[in-house]
Structure 1
């Protein structure tokens, strides 16, 4: 009897110690184990998902948070993107009552989207793009009261786009591209989606016309993408009421008729309407009225025109006068060449010729620009002050003042004190104080390109026409056969790189949030002006903190725009970095040893033509550096704890896993608790700028407008 009792107790203890660990796991953990079981093959993504744990909060890809009224932390985020997972989505995910983000994109999940997912009432972001999910969108999905982001693109969903999508009244992003949705686009749902920022229905099997009601999406930004469908009919004029910052993409459809010329339509380029054979009107090269006339049978346009009439007396007189002018010009050219040759024979000779700012000594003029005679002493240094004297002699050199308000002569420029500020592939830069005490920055571009003066002058004049309070102003230029100079405003307080990290890796002053926001707003305004309002609609191509100069009030100035083109004209090889207009000390660290992680991914492909979306990406990286205090530049020889080679990916990972803001933001900003919402808003703008797809990035005008709304 005692032996039997002993065996019974052993059995009880065995059962308890076998099953208690599994029973001790929280309900959230059990729901996650259902996801693990639904995956076809074992995966390293679940290597630390142990059923013996009390909570799943330490599991890979799981984010927990303390919820008011709950004793234990609850699961708020699942991030298992790009893990090559295949299987199905279990209905148990709906039991995660506090789940906010479900991020399973770029896997191979198949089957249907479970309707029970609507029970996860806190869900606001559902990222399931790039899987093999199929079926229809469950009607219950839009009962989720907080759903803001729904990305089901690149799956195999089919059927009609449901009318009940209008119940998702808080939806901000609806991305259904790359599926097999068919039928017409529902008309009545769009007036209810007044928070919608992004709509992408491209690459489906949609038919019928574009609903007029899409024109009611007043919050839309970025791209309205309906391309690669079978849509027909005319473009609704109501779409012109959408914000001016919205870009259209209607290509590869069967749309017809004339493109409206009102509102947002006037801001679109031709690529928005390509591969619609029956569309006509601006900006396409197909005139609606012209095409009708050209191909109408029996039209007078098709009749041959007799143009064999003789010359009129007036035309004969005009031709004779033109011939006389040409003969006179040829004579003047011959006389000029003769006297030019005589002048060269009588020109002065300079021994050991040196140019602007390179040595002390007396000056004579050769080829229209002063060169310095005399030896440079051994104790002279590159960053030393030089006294350069000279005058404006006869010859080819020409000083052209773009800004008439800044009056100075060439000899005044040459006599002034010059300090070396920096050297790079974009030339040597000097600080020069004119006789009236006004400092200017003078950049030497090089010696080549003497045969391309007209091209050089046209580029410089285009740059000189740029007038904006957040862009460095070009005031004058000098051209000679052996010397090219640019004279611009001098900005006194260094650049954003030094303001954030100092000259030795440590900032000289802590930048408050208000100053950082001021720098971000000003830079965005300047860049938006270059893109939208400047004479050439410039693409900067090299936005980074060292090209954002600061004055004593921390007002930002964009520098170095247009310089790569000028350098190519003068025959030099541009490199990264430049110092146009700023107080930037020369350092001997090689820029070539560093990787420019400010560049957009598509900008790193050799031979690509620069676009404004490159600048948007680079500005987004600059914003992330302002927010985090971390540099995205990496060096193969050195690295510090404040360098993050892929800053964009690091921040995105932090948001996907809902990491605390304190882990991402610059520690010096943590005391400014009151601006947490502003910091988060700028983070979201930066992430939008750094989207991998250039089309998904906003225009700089939109970025600037959104930044200006923060803190006001």
Structure 2
């Protein structure tokens, strides 16, 4: 109530001071922001006038259809001042973007009243004080960026509970201290969390979405420890307790028995007094034996892992053909290079800068830039492996190595190359070539999350789409035929088809299903391959119609053909200008419908599908044919 009263008094003073002003409450709140700015070198607010009827025409201001202020965007204007509490009167505000200015002082707690706010970006300013827990009341907030300020204090658990947070939570480059609240484990996996360069300390909670974050999210906090950082937390100190001397215990150096006249309680005290001493001796003996056993086992493991190649090696790395392995003292940790000539060391990989480029149920994908030469790889993180003790753990490790090696044997111009893999009890990583131009899904529908894709949907001509479908079919046919086990992809979709700068398609995600569910032997056999054919048929329909793939699209296209609707009602409107491609479009429609018949036995093999697509225009494309 105190905040509301002060705001009402402010409005009354504004109205009294500007009796002829016809501005709405939104306009008066913006004038409070202008009044709080002491320096405006770029004259960004010079046109904000109390004599205007509406603020909707002011620079950096956008309004809704109802005339309410919806967006404030004043980036990099060098505005110097403080943030007034009157901004909380903008009840229809959806975006408040003030990055790259010189605002100082605290963040007003009253901003927690902006219940319609979706984006709040106050990065790169000089804001100080603590992060108001009232920001946790912003029920509509999807993106919060408070990076590069001077904010101090603890992380408020309330902001981790924002129900619609889905884009960015960036609190990096501040002075925040204390531990990471366990509530941060409840943040959605789709959120890009960044807590770099603060003074946070303690163990990173091993729970929820914090388990799938990369080390970059916590870098620059010397006091932090635990997974995913390579800074283990110190073991809790246990003070050695010395048994209190028992007054009834006789300390005769000759070991003489207690006097015959001693009472029963005295003799019992003698017996109990010797128990801690004997227990201490036994514990020391057991620990000594365990240490010696570990020491000799470790020496044996190191002797077995000496380099077998004449070229120089690093630490405990050994080479076996094209495969590089690194095993720690824990026997389980394995780093293997499966692509000959790939020279990135594990330590170098873990130190490199990582950026989230994709998330799914199978894990999280990072773009990793190597500091040494600026090269880029993609790293898929599968998360924590289960069953990490005893024989079960060893069996899982062997299964992972077998399946990863099978993925590494896939060598085709239209399949993403696996370069290396890493396995540990608490981590599983797959290292691939980085394909820079996004996915087919992004190219067809635009990127709905993550970094913007520079390729607009209209950039995909019919010739380009047909070339992408051909290359994908060839890559899928290769995967189906490369092993007598009749492997399948198990999840082919437009989001799993990556594109390079020349629009060459690369199938990603091959074999991941088997790594995640080895007991089920997912994506193996004729039934799984026919399921791949059906999924590829949906991708073809998606590329031709421009609609998001799904069973409803297949049913809609079949109904359109049965009703003999015009082709212009079915095909992607972006392709209607290419009149010469109509016959090819019809032929590709027929291929897609053959792939998506209900009876799996009636679906063609993917090799026949690839050959049918090659025959569509009478000549093969040069974009994606294997060389």
Superposition TM-score tier, normalisation by shorter sequence: 0.3 to 0.5
